[in-house]
A and B are shown apart, each in its own frame.
Chain A
Amino acid sequence: MTKDSRQYLKRLWNDNQYSRKLLLSSMTLAIFLVLWEILPAAGWLDPFFTSSPSRILQAADWLFAHGLWNDIWVSLSEFALGMLLGTTLGILVGILLGWYRTLDAMFEPFVTMLNAMPRVALLPLIILWLGIGMESKVAAVFLGAFFPIVINVMKGVRTVDENLLKCARSFNANDRQVLSTLVLPSSVPFIVAGLHIGVGRGLVAVVIGEMLASQAGVGHMINMASATFQTDKVFVGIFLLAGFGYILTEILKQLEKIFEPWRTADK
């Protein structure tokens, strides 16, 4: 190592916390990957069960050439469609239940029960009703996303700033105007919070649904690979899902940052 590069690393280490964190985390990751590669190669671990980074890359290469894109496309569409439906209907129903106490009293048992139960338990029923195609997975994702959004939006509607409500009323705003200019925008931070939970549940729903009964999708691929003892391919699927979850979390973090100033309740 030259003196310059040593100094450069030292500066990186001292200068800011972010680069130090990055350095440490990439170091442990690198060590982990190297060990994962070396230990099976040296015969300490059985690659049949543990696979290794190089084998996973090879498997990925093969899979991408043999229909993995289609699996990704199927899973993504199921997830996106389910989320879209769950979010739109969730916002609508959340506003209605939050604004009209009578409706809330009428439907509260359903919302509470369906939100509290593990919705995975409904999957066999959904598959029975909608079949093993994409529809059943869309429905499963929908159920995962819908309830946390409903519950969060209801909370948002009920914590609308009294002063803003008074202001809207003083300008003679009607119910529709109050909903669109005040209630909906001030619910946005709550919608994002609901999305956070909904995205997690939706991902679980799509994977479990595909594993249970389907003809395509990343979950289906993992299941098939596992059933035929192809550990390398299983890992490809796992990494794909991990990456997908990571990207979604980051997007939501950004959304939260953007909409946080919209919060009016605790001012």
Chain B
Amino acid sequence: MINLEARRISIEFQMRRTGDRLMAIQDMSFIVEPGKFVCIVGTSGCGKTTLLNVVAGLQKPSSGEILLGGIPVKGPGRDRAMVFQSAALFPWRTVIRNITYGLEMQGYSLKVAKIAARDMIELVGLSGFEESFPRELSGGMQQRVNLARALVTKPDLLLMDEPFANLDGQMRELMQTEIERIWLQTGQTTLFVTHLIDEAIFLADEIIVMTNRPGKVKADIAVHLPRPRLHSFKKSAEFFAIEEKLRDLIQEEFAQIIHQGSPPEIL
């Protein structure tokens, strides 16, 4: 397995309307070790999603580089796969054809892709819905398809961009346990972006806290807690200790926003 290294990444935007330059991320460096589940948390607008887009190769950094197994990332590639915040499913494709999409793009025959997809359907708990269309599924099931579509390509690195942000509280908790179960089965190196502190602690081996814009690493916190983590874990003393630490860190960033008097615009 391969590790991910972000080396002094900076991302600058030019505002379309005013022409002003805006530093989204500045000099950000971090490493994700193989097999680890790493969460990135930060205030909204701190550039979490932008960072993930850069790792995915959908966007180029203004300076610095992303190394995957020591090789610089030049664009999207089959070594990475992304799970999107909105399920982003093709409404004219059935569940199984949505899951085979990535493999089809990578040149696999539909027959081979379908065999792989069936395993994934079982893994994410969608058996019996192979021929359903996305509109016939609940939000949680749509996110399972979204996840399976990424997993089936067997990427070295799985990127997840607040995949449960649009789900209700109960469904989110259920999906968190599901993600952990699937992760324990696949051992998939994962970079997971969220703004929810408890979600990060529940899932992560390691949590990277980002500063406000321009975003960089504010803190890197290891979560050495046994798995599988049940939801009762969210009431344990260890959990509270980490939660307090994280909350303080994020509070500091919020205080700074208020102090500066400039509310973060969401890009």
A residues adjacent to B (C-beta < 8 A): 161, 163-164, 166-173, 177, 181-182, 185-186, 188, 261-264
Contact = CB atoms under 8 A, between A and B. Distances in A.
Contact of B84 (A163, A172, A186): A163
Contacts, number: 58
A185 B75 contact: no
Contacts of B77: 172
A166 B90 contact: no
B76 A169 contact: yes
Given A170-B76, A171-B102, A171-B153, A264 B91 contact: yes
Contacts of B84: 163, 166-167
B81 interface: yes
Given A167-B84, A171-B153, A182 B90 contact: yes
B88 to A, nearest CB: 4
A262 B153 contact: no
Contacts of B105: 168, 171-173, 177, 181
**Majority SS of interface residues in chain A?**
helix
Given A171-B153, A172-B77, A261-B91, 12 more contacts: A161-B88, A163-B86, A166-B82, A168-B105, A170-B56, A170-B80, A171-B102, A171-B105, A172-B105, A172-B106, A177-B105, A181-B104
Nearest to A170: B82
Nearest to A165: B88
Contact of B101 (A166, A171, A261): A171
B254 interface: no
B30 to A, nearest CB: 21
B81 A171 contact: yes
B92 A172 contact: no
Nearest to A259: B92
Interface centre among A170, A181, A185, A264 (most CB of B within 10 A): A170
A165 to B, nearest CB: 9
A239 to B, nearest CB: 39
Nearest to B135: A261
B90 A172 contact: no
Contacts of A188: 92
A172 B91 contact: no
Contacts of B76: 169-172
Contacts of B229: none
A170 B75 CA distance: 9
B77 to A, nearest CB: 6
A262 B91 CA distance: 6
A168 B57 CA distance: 12
B133 interface: yes
Contact of B58 (A169, A185, A262): A169
